[in-house]
Structure 1
Amino acid sequence: MAEKMTHTPVSIHPNSAPSVRQDDDIQMLARLAGLEDALARFPEDVSTAARTALNIRAAFQAPIDNTAELWPVMQVKS
């Protein structure tokens, strides 16, 4: 049975030390993703991968207008 998240995951900054709450969030998300075996065998690797993914996500800049086309509209030539 899936667990329900009771709080939002903490943003992880590249230069900050991981907190206990961050580790709890990562472990909960890993279990929700079905990574119990990987978490049991390689907890540091799962934690590092999660922190890396969160850092990349934080660095990603979404478009300001999410309804705008990223590329010009494609047209068929006849």
Structure 2
Amino acid sequence: MSGTTMVAIIVFISVGFSAIASMYYKHLAFKEKMLKHQNSKNAEDAKLSQELAALKERVQILEKIVTDEGYSVQKEINNI
């Protein structure tokens, strides 16, 4: 093998490894970005879950008030 061929092979190997390393670091950055997005989404989901639970509780209380017989009597008295 001549010296020129060996230099060319070394250059190609170096360029190949640097391209692979570059793709790997871009992949790591992408994974990190996706993880941050997932974490923020999980926090938002938890907040919405708490809000939904509070709203369900309020609806149950309102249903109890409306279906209570005393409520309808009070409503009729107010209408008079």
TM-score clears 0.5: no
TM-score by length of 1: 0.28
Q: Identify the structure with the greater helix proportion.
A: 2
TM-score by length of 2: 0.28
